[in-house]
Amino acid sequence: MAIDVPVLSRWQQSDLWWSFQQRPSAVFAVVLLAVVILTSILAPWITPQNPYDLAALNLMNSELPPIWLDGGEYPYVLGTDVQGRDLYSAILYGSRTSLFIGALSVLLALSVGLTLGLIAGYYGGWVDNAIMRLGDVLLSMPFILIAILISAVAVQMLPSHLRESLTSLILVVAIAVPSWVQYARTVRASAMVEKGKEYVQAARLIRVKSWRILLHHILPNTLTPIMVAATLNFGLAILSEATLSFLGVGMPSDQPSLGTLIRIGNQYLFSGLWWVVLFPSIQLCLIVLSVNMIGDWLRDALNPKLR
Amino acid sequence: MIAFLLKRLMNAAFVMLAVAFLAFMIFRFFGDPVEMMVNEQATQSDRAELRERLGLNDGLLTQYARFVGSAVQGDFGISYRNQQDVMTLVAERFPATFELVIVATVLSLIIGVPFGVLTAVYQDRKLADGLQIGSIVGVSLPSFVVGILLILVFSVSLGWLPAFGRGETVDIGWWSSGFFTDSGRAALILPSISLSLFQITLVMRLVRAEMLEVLRSDFIKFARARGLPLSVVHWRHALRNCLMPVITLTGMQIGNLIAFALVTETVFQWPGMGLLFIQAVTFVDIPVMAAYLMLVSFIFVLINTLVDITYAYVDPRLRSEVAVKGGSAHGH
Amino acid sequence: MKLESRQFVASTALLLACTAGHAEVLKWGANRDIGSLDPYSYGDSFTINVLNHTYEGLVRYDKDLKIEPALAVSWEILEDQITWRFKLRPDVTFHNGNSFTAEDVVASLQRVSHETSPLKGNLPAYVSASVVDDLTLDIVLNGTYPLLLNDLTNIHIFDKQWLVENDAELPTDIGAGTEGYATYHANGTGPFIVESRQPDAKTVFTVNPDWWDTPAHNLTGFELLPVTSAATRVAALLSGEISFTNDAPVQDLPRLEAAPGVNVLEGVDLRTVMIGMSYRDTLDNGSDNPFKDLKVRQALYQAIDMDQLQKKVMRGKSRNAGAVVAPPIPGYTESLDERMAFDVDAAKALLAEAGVPEGFEFDFNCLQDGLVNEEQICQAIASMWSRIGLSPRLDVAPRAVQTPKRTNGQADVYTLGWATLPMLDAYSPLLQIFHSKEGNSGVFNWGDWSFPELDELVQSAGAELDLDKRLAMETAALQIVKDELIMLPLHQQPMAWATTEAVTDMPLFPDNKPRLWFASMQ
């Protein structure tokens, strides 16, 4: 989707760059997130082991401490878990899974939310009613509950040979389903305002197709709040995935995400294997923290009231 | 007013019917109820007979109507795992969750409100910056990680506080309370801190935003001009004006906290509804899952409806605007 | 309102005073809850073991696991060889005050062997029972059968009048849509009385002052507190919130042993862990089933590095096994217990000989809440198998989810632990696991194999009253299990209990069953 020039110029006017430079926490967060994303994309090339490949794991190398402690061994820089899984590799691969699920679920929620919101706001009537009622129902159930139910039910219903490949997609859906409503409501409100404005009336008069009006005129006007919400929701989605995996209804232990690693590590909390639970926890907190800091900065920077 | 009330109630009823439909679908199609109930040696005819007796051969709409009918009477059937009446099971667990949520809510207000005011008032100072960063860290820490750390530090290393359960409880009628014994109160501390962390930051941010708004208003400027001490202006006049949204948010968040308590309850093995639900999920105990979903949604809808009605009562302008606000403030 | 709350505070104070006065309430932190208060409602050893504190059988195991009289004082086999006559203990009362008679035993036997009872397989030879007089009864079997007493150790006796009054004569039937009274009420003859129960949270037992036997314990009661998370259980023990656990995680034993005020009791369980395979024509995904070939089974066997597994996953606490029963079990011989060598090359060669050199895909069904460190064992084994070219698809889920798959033949490869309880004889796995699936036999024969020669041996052993002859037949049958690699034995799993120092005596039994009537506290 191409972004129109007016949007771009609005961005430049909003002195985002200036506020970014004024905010060390935002700079820190952007750098941190960039490093995390880069390392997890490059994971297969910069890790000594593929932790998802069962044949690569060897019990011989299990429970090694981090390299700076007695008994630590190269190349297992951050130590290994009880299966001989290299934690550094597992954390990078796990971050990859977590980021992938988080990003995809936000994208899915965004596309569903924006589409339904635009349709509801632009057409109104029973379409609007139906969509918004569906949203009401979803919002009347706690987020985490919907996600648990969807992932628990769907994963159990899959035949086991499909489970391996589809679990992460189920998690994407489970997290996206309860979160699209927020976008839909925002967009709907703005669509209802915009559709009465003269330029839209004019476009209608010259028979511009309605989807073009929606896409080129109404949507760009709502992008700012949507962007802030999407950033914050990205952090929320990563947290949700970790929570589901921690509760045992997320990623399985042979394809660990960060939450799964923490769940496994939690079983060894008192056995002296503190690194198994600590390092994934730190990585998870850093990812969510940086995303939230960016979201916070965006919200402040784009909200004229707070400046 | 009556029309608004009716409309709002109808809306709530519709939402509950939809939730019931979802619960029913899970109940009906997640696994085969017959397969879950019979033991391994059951023959085909045993199964067919049970299927008939459970009414699984009736039309889908008939079954749904029956499900709603018994749900209204609080009848969700028998737990597959405990072989006990589901509503009794859930009701037994409700006090544990409710007390945890109440304590967490109170904590979030006691800590969140003053910190929110501080960040707003001392906007440009180091303390405010620190609190602001702290609040972001607060929303970013997964509550299960916080729970694990709290156990590690305060139960295992220091041995000060219990790591699991509710301690001794006292029965008042059907309600079992942990407020009245030392061990019960001690057991509440760690779980309620871990549950309230997110809520604290939420309250803090809301108070900050509201305070900033109020501080710009003329009446505060006027109060300052009158020469009132700043602390009185901030803590009395300004704060009072932003308490209404805080109370609303707190009320609406109670439903979310009840649901989110399931993570805390899992970490601390807290015998509440959430732990029951998570165990039901692992054991595929569908009647319990369905009952929990319905109950939590009911509390959610009830609170939202009450809030809307109260608002409409306080501010008659809202009555014409029936657009439902729903639980727009939902947490993670 | 005011008054009520004052009364309530007073009662709270009273309650506190009580608990402070009696330190002998043992807090038992278990890894799971019992399924119900009805011992017949759930075919599960843990539930039966816990309820044995409240309900008793006609006979029981003593401290050395030898059978001794309990509710029966003596027994004999009548001339027809299939009728057993039991003399019952006089002056025994149930917790509700009713006295114990032959009527109660008959009602209990009828209840447990009812066709809807999940425990009917535990009493395979039973045909009928009849009252001779108040304290005498006859049990008729379907043939000569040597192991009736072993079976009876775990058949708990109910009060007939109580069952009738509460409409609980039949085992609970969920299908009928009613709760069973016995699901949440208990009335036995045992050393402890159930005072209250909150499923998954707390079950409180108090001492039975009128127990017929002289108590060897000094407890005033105990509380069963399910703490499912292993880490939390350890934390609770370290902080003294529980005084005993029958499942201390093996990985945390060093930490517990080092902790002041904690005692660790360790031993090797009788439970032998095995891997089973499907013998059906096709695997669950529809492809041909290579496991029917002995060579493939042997390849799977030889690919598993048991020494590593023992050292790393089991922390050196398990005992590697070549036989499918543990050494103390009658029927075991040492020659059965030799393991085939771990040999990756041999395993690869065997796969090639069997015509599957590239390996194949299969489901590996494991339980999340099953054996000691089961999830880790399965991961480690899956990784060892993938190193000889196989592609196991690990499927780890809770028991409730996996059991239907296992019994319906949807699990290509699965784990199983068997302790021979309550029989404590090799006949138990031979009949229930290795025998072909028919009637009460082969209930756990999930792979659906059939070895007629073995079936014959098992059947004749089941009718042989001469101990030596019977054990010889059982050993011969175990040899077939070993030669054919019907299932792959792994190890006897470790058992580890831990107590706080407040607990002064807690005898550990090789059947891993806590018997708190032998426990003492400070």
Q: Are residues B61 and B163 in the same domain?
A: no
- Supply the pLDDT for residue B35: 62
Q: Are residues B231 and B148 in the same domain?
A: yes
Q: Are residues B240 and B308 in the same domain?
A: yes
Nearest to B40 among C175, C198, C407 (CB): C407
Q: How confident is the model at residue C470 (pLDDT cuts 50, 70, 90)?
A: very high
* DSSP for residue A217: I
Task: Decide if pLDDT at C78 tops 90.
Answer: yes
In a domain, B77, yes or no: no
- Supply the pLDDT for residue C108: 94
- Supply the pLDDT for residue B332: 39
In a domain, B81, yes or no: no
Cα B33 versus chain centre, distance: 29
- Supply the pLDDT for residue C391: 92
- Could you read off the pLDDT of B95-149 as tens digits, one per residue? 999 999 999 999 999 998 888 888 887 766 777 778 778 888 888 888 899 998 8
Average pLDDT of span B276-302: 86
Put simply, whether B332 touches A (Cβ < 8 Å) is yes
Q: Are B87 and B74 within 8 A, CB to CB?
A: yes
Interface of B with A in 295-314 (CB under 8 A): 296-297, 300-301, 304
CA distance A143 to chain C (A): 24
The answer to whether the CB atoms of B50 and C175 lie below 8 A apart is yes
In a domain, B275, yes or no: yes
Instruction: Give me chain A's average pLDDT, please.
Output: 84
DSSP E strand boundaries for chain A: none
In a domain, B327, yes or no: no
More confidently predicted of C366 and A84: C366
Task: Decide if pLDDT at C271 tops 60.
Answer: yes
Q: Are A192 and A121 within 8 A, CB to CB?
A: yes
- Supply the pLDDT for residue C362: 94
- Supply the pLDDT for residue C1: 36
Task: Decide if pLDDT at C2 tops 90.
Answer: no
Q: Are residues B63 and B104 in the same domain?
A: no
Task: Decide if pLDDT at C245 tops 70.
Answer: yes
Average pLDDT of span C338-344: 94
Backbone angles phi, psi at C221, to 5 degrees: 160, 180
- Could you read off the pLDDT of B242-262 as tens digits, one per residue? 777 888 888 888 888 898 899
Q: Which residues of A touch C (CB under 8 A)?
A: 53-60, 62-63, 82-84, 156, 160-161, 163-164, 248, 252-254, 266-273
Interface of C with A in 465-484 (CB under 8 A): none
Q: What percent of chain B clears pLDDT 70, i.e. is strictly above it? A: 86
- Could you read off the pLDDT of B208-247 as tens digits, one per residue? 888 887 777 777 777 777 777 777 777 777 777 777 788 8
- Supply the pLDDT for residue B38: 57
- Supply the pLDDT for residue A124: 81
Q: What percent of chain C clears pLDDT 90, i.e. is strictly above it? A: 61
The 3-class secondary structure across chain B, one letter per residue, is: CHHHHHHHHHHHHHHHHHHHHHHHHHHHHCCCHHHHHCCCCCCHHHHHHHHHHCCCCCCHHHHHHHHHHHHHCCCCCECCCCCCEHHHHHHHHHHHHHHHHHHHHHHHHHHHHHHHHHHHHCCCCHHHHHHHHHHHHHHHCCHHHHHHHHHHHHHHHCCCCCCCCCCCCEEECCEEECCCCHHHHHHHHHHHHHHHHHHHHHHHHHHHHHHHHHHCCHHHHHHHHCCCCHHHHHHHHHHHHCHHHHHHHHHHHHHHHHHHHHHHHHHHCCCCHHHHHHHHHHCCCHHHHHHHHHHHHHHHHHHHHHHHHHHHHHCHHHHHCCCCCCCCCCCC
Q: Are residues B61 and B99 in the same domain?
A: no
- Could you read off the pLDDT of C367-389 as tens digits, one per residue? 887 888 898 899 999 999 999 99
Q: How confident is the model at residue C18 (pLDDT cuts 50, 70, 90)?
A: very low
Q: Are residues B64 and B101 in the same domain?
A: no
Residue B105: give its domain's CATH number. Answer: 1.10.3720.10
- Supply the pLDDT for residue C412: 94
The domain boundary, picked from B12, B40, B72, lies at B72
In a domain, B260, yes or no: yes
The domain boundary, picked from B50, B72, B94, lies at B72
Q: How confident is the model at residue A296 (pLDDT cuts 50, 70, 90)?
A: confident
In a domain, B199, yes or no: yes
Q: Are residues B265 and B131 in the same domain?
A: yes
Q: How confident is the model at residue C319 (pLDDT cuts 50, 70, 90)?
A: very high
Q: Are residues B231 and B290 in the same domain?
A: yes
Q: B293 contacts in A (CB within 8 Å)?
A: 141, 145, 149
Q: How confident is the model at residue C514 (pLDDT cuts 50, 70, 90)?
A: very high
Q: Are residues B282 and B228 in the same domain?
A: yes
Q: How far apart are CA A116 and CA A108, in angstroms?
A: 12
- Supply the pLDDT for residue C21: 40
Q: B152 contacts in A (CB within 8 Å)?
A: 269
Average pLDDT of span A214-235: 82
- Supply the pLDDT for residue B327: 35
Return the structure tokens found at C320: 């590697």
- Could you read off the pLDDT of C156-212 as tens digits, one per residue? 999 999 999 988 888 765 555 556 788 889 999 999 999 998 887 889 999 999 999
Q: Are B306 and B314 within 8 A, CB to CB?
A: no
Average pLDDT of span C227-249: 86
- Supply the pLDDT for residue B124: 67
- Could you read off the pLDDT of A66-107 as tens digits, one per residue? 888 888 888 888 888 888 889 999 999 999 999 999 999 999
- Could you read off the pLDDT of C275-292 as tens digits, one per residue? 999 999 999 888 999 999
Return the structure tokens found at C259: 């902790």
Instruction: Give me chain B's average pLDDT, please.
Output: 79
- Supply the pLDDT for residue C19: 42
Which of B144, B164, B254 to substitute to test the interface with A, most A CBs within 10 Å? Answer: B144
Lowest mean pLDDT among A30-39, A113-122, C166-175, C354-363: C166-175
What is the count of structural domains for chain B?
A: 2
Q: Are C57 and C156 within 8 A, CB to CB?
A: yes
- Supply the pLDDT for residue A300: 77
In a domain, B326, yes or no: no
* Enclosing domain of residue B133: 86-319
- Could you read off the pLDDT of C116-159 as tens digits, one per residue? 777 777 788 899 999 999 999 999 999 899 989 999 998 999 99
Q: How confident is the model at residue C8 (pLDDT cuts 50, 70, 90)?
A: very low
Q: How far apart are CA B281 and CA B30, in angstroms?
A: 11
Q: Are residues B34 and B151 in the same domain?
A: no
> What separation in angstroms does the CA of C235 have from each of A267, C29, C202?
11, 11, 18
* DSSP for residue C516: G
In a domain, B328, yes or no: no
* Whole-prediction pTM: 0.83
Buried b (16+ CB within 10 A) or exposed e, A96-134: bbbbbbbebbbebbbebbbbbbbbbbbeeeeebeebbeb
Q: How far apart are CA C279 and CA C365, in angstroms?
A: 15
Q: Are residues B209 and B136 in the same domain?
A: yes
CA distance A166 to chain C (A): 14
- Supply the pLDDT for residue B215: 77
The domain boundary, picked from B72, B95, B124, lies at B72
Instruction: Give me chain C's average pLDDT, please.
Output: 88
Q: How far apart are CA C519 and CA C514, in angstroms?
A: 9
Q: Are residues B63 and B205 in the same domain?
A: no
Task: Decide if pLDDT at B302 tops 50.
Answer: yes
Return the structure tokens found at A168: 């992460």
CA distance B218 to chain A (A): 16
